[in-house]
A and B are shown apart, each in its own frame.
Chain A
């Protein structure tokens, strides 16, 4: 569905473009619809709006001037990285400037001794690990779109990945941000020291969805690359036993490097796509990874096998080499595109729950499948309770769309009810702005809005995202993936 259809004021557009062209070359200021069309949405294609103007600055000075200019003219600014986000966090404003940070692609400095890299926000997540690999180091957070997504976008969304139970999220791996306030004043959050005086504004910035400031430089922490990783693949006769096995692994004092679950509808969907060798008779499979020194991995894999067997695993396989490890993971990583092949459309949810409520949520989802007559394969970051149920539907059937939205809404509200959250890692953006009303009270939402105004008094940075107005809380909409195709459909999504 198109969100609000773009109503661009041509006079305003001319004035803003002319002002930006005062310091940006003509090629870096786009306003013809054919040029701005590629920016009308991010990875959440259901929500689109043509930006009034797209700006592609190349220098920090240009970013600063852009912010000062827009601030003076009262023009909204939406910062954008690679546009792979799944919640519409980078959806443009038809009365604003879309600030693309795509040209900020430089790795400014690598310090292998201090284990930090200073990079520009348009540097891709995986590119950081690639460039520091010769030093035996890497950047730990690994969102599934890491081949394309940028570190600036990761900062905006506090991106996770399959290894965050052990290695943390973006907030745990970023040491400093340098950028500009909405007024264009230079500001720094954090440093290469491990803490800063005063309130922890760095933590506040991370995951703020581009609503508090604009970063032009990110300092990340690098970790020594584990010498070895191996994964145990365990089959279970029912999903609740698999859920209990996850708890048993944690209870045994093991923090796996990755701990992922897929149910049978999901393994069957992906097996025909990747041929990973999954046990298709199992109701659920767990992938449980150990990494570290060879001694650590050997000790941990043995303990994992023992715990999983005791927890009722019907079959256990351990990767014997790196190729096999990657093969075991391939289906999990390709789960979204694989599901996209068996259904015209799917709706991906991102709720997080306390792990012990997994069985209850799975039963609830099974009931919802019956209630709404729609199938819903499940893939989970089981280690940290982050669910990605995928509702399969056909968008050409308006009734199926209506049922999907109702299905998703019930599941997300159930996540909140059992003590979880409506979004674990994809962000609120425009997609889940209504469900924020289910998770937070009016006073809490007012506190978020007051905080926003401390940084951005006129609400010009990414307006209308992440925090709903109370009026907005009355509305309720869903999302869907158009024709089963996401932009960047080649990327794994999980």
Chain B
């Protein structure tokens, strides 16, 4: 154990004894996400660096404080990538924060979510024990899958010290097409396309325009373009578009109107709530800018078979995440207590009671 981690162990034990909250934080790029951060700062950035990267193993292991950009640059140098295209939301984003937030980007619907790529995690729990779950291999069914449980846990179960993720080769060819389609038609069309073997890697719809990214073998991309038609976007414009959606630097995301993230079954009908919508993930992700009451937005998402997160807003008294049914709440409380008996890690970040 490094001196740094040994120091964290002492801090965790002291915080546990005093029952005082610790705020786990990397670059702070996702401070806006979830409940309001509180507690004494534990800055994870000093525990940094890529521990192991073997491109032919398709696995990289990095410490929590490693800048996400540094990790992605190392992968890109070998022609590889994080297939779930995680948003950074700022240059300071770290690997630990990325895993704890659990957010995936434009490629999610076709390549899978961040949690699908997590293979192993080293965790500092609330008792001050350093625990390893999963590993550096792709197939591993020894023990409960705690690594994936930690993906998106917002740090409430402990300090993610180190993570191993599966990586994939970058596609050899990429093109973006634009179509004019009203919302309902776009949703149906995206679902129909997804049921056929097309190399779709991202999609977005807004204001009557559907954008489709194709990635893969050159021949496959070429054949898909011929089949689908549409207007090809110049490469530079396309790159800017997908980056703007991933990083939410696109003009759609600017302004003060609360931003809701609705995760729905991909073919769910248009959401009838006043506000401007942007659709990603083949119809499964609907962004909504609205001042409508939280209850109305959550009810609409629930009726459509999904859930709504208050993603960015000045005021989050309605809770960032959709409330859980009672049995789920009980299990969440139990898991929180089993990893963090004194309730010191990121209290209130996921749910007020956790």
Contacts and interface: CB of A to CB of B under 8 A. Distances in A.
Interface string A78-120: 0000000000000000000000000000000001111110000
Given A198-B321, A466-B143, A420 B135 contact: yes
A479 B112 CA distance: 37
Interface in A233-281: 247-248, 250-251, 253-255
Interface string B267-282: 1000000000000010
B206 interface: no
Given A194-B284, A441-B131, A454-B331, A293 B223 contact: yes
A436 interface: yes
Contacts of A453: 334, 338
B324 interface: yes
A467 interface: yes
Interface string B294-307: 00000000000111
A194 B285 CA distance: 8
Given A193-B305, A199-B149, A439 B138 contact: no
Contact of B307 (A196, A206, A381): A196
Contacts of B216: 296
B6 to A, nearest CB: 16
A450 interface: yes
Q: How large is the interface on A (under 10, 10 to 19, 20 to 34, 35 or more residues)?
A: 35 or more
A186 B326 CA distance: 11
Given A169-B139, A193-B264, A444-B143, A299 B219 contact: yes
A88 to B, nearest CB: 14
Nearest to B134: A421
A175 to B, nearest CB: 9
Contact of A207 (B57, B58, B141, B223): B141
Interface stretch (B11-19, B62-70, B192-200, B234-242): B192-200
B55 interface: yes
Contact of B145 (A181, A203, A227): A203
A299 B129 contact: no
Given A136-B195, A203-B149, A467-B143, A447 B125 contact: yes
A300 B144 contact: no
B139, B157, B285, B332: most-surrounded residue (chain A CB, <10 A):
B139
Interface stretch (A52-60, A336-344, A352-360, A368-376): A352-360
B220 A295 contact: yes
Contacts of B132: 440-441, 444
B39 interface: no
A381 B138 CA distance: 11
B327 interface: yes
A348 interface: no
B165 to A, nearest CB: 14
B265 A191 contact: yes
Contact of B140 (A115, A253, A293, A424): A424
A422 interface: yes
B172 interface: yes
Interface stretch (A21-29, A30-38, A157-165, A313-321): A157-165
A194 B141 contact: no
A185 interface: yes
Contact of B195 (A157, A224, A452): A224
B57, B142, B220, B332: most-surrounded residue (chain A CB, <10 A):
B142
B305 A192 contact: yes
B152 interface: yes
A329 interface: no
B339 interface: yes
A204 interface: yes
A197 B169 contact: no
Contacts of B75: none
B140, B153, B168, B322: most-surrounded residue (chain A CB, <10 A):
B140
A478 interface: no
Interface in A195-237: 195-201, 203-204, 206-208, 212, 224-227
Interface string A421-449: 11111111000100010011101100110
Contacts of B309: 197
B143 A440 contact: yes
A354 B331 contact: no
A444 B131 contact: yes
A198 B332 contact: yes
Given A171-B116, A441-B131, A224 B196 contact: yes
B87 to A, nearest CB: 14
Interface string A443-475: 110011011111100000000001100000000
Contact of A432 (B54, B142, B194, B350): B142
A354 B321 contact: no
B139 A251 contact: no
A307 to B, nearest CB: 12
Contacts of B109: 194
Contacts of A133: none
A42 interface: no
B136 interface: yes
Contacts of A115: 191, 194-195
Contacts of A353: 137
A6 interface: no
B219 A295 contact: yes
Contacts of A448: 143-144, 146
A436 B141 CA distance: 11
Contacts of A201: 149, 328, 331
B41 interface: no
Contacts of A122: none
A451 B335 contact: yes
A43 interface: no
A111 B115 CA distance: 25
A177 to B, nearest CB: 13
Question: 7 closest A-B pairs (Cβ-Cβ)?
Answer: A454-B334, A253-B169, A295-B219, A203-B148, A424-B139, A193-B306, A192-B265
Given A224-B196, A447-B338, A451-B146, 16 more contacts: A115-B191, A165-B138, A194-B285, A195-B263, A199-B153, A200-B153, A253-B172, A296-B199, A296-B220, A352-B138, A354-B136, A419-B135, A432-B142, A439-B143, A447-B339, A454-B335
17 contacts: A113-B267, A114-B267, A135-B195, A168-B116, A185-B327, A192-B306, A199-B157, A200-B152, A204-B148, A250-B55, A250-B57, A255-B168, A440-B143, A443-B131, A444-B143, A451-B144, A453-B334
Interface of A: 111-116, 135-137, 157-158, 160, 164-165, 168-169, 171-172, 181, 185-188, 191-201, 203-204, 206-208, 212, 224-227, 247-248, 250-251, 253-255, 292-293, 295-296, 298-300, 352-356, 381, 384-386, 419-428, 432, 436, 439-441, 443-444, 447-448, 450-455, 466-467
Interface of B: 54-59, 79, 102, 108-109, 112-113, 115-116, 125, 127, 129, 131-133, 135-146, 148-149, 151-153, 157, 168-170, 172, 188, 191-192, 194-197, 199, 216-220, 222-223, 263-267, 281, 284-285, 305-307, 309, 321-325, 327-328, 331-332, 334-335, 337-339, 350-351
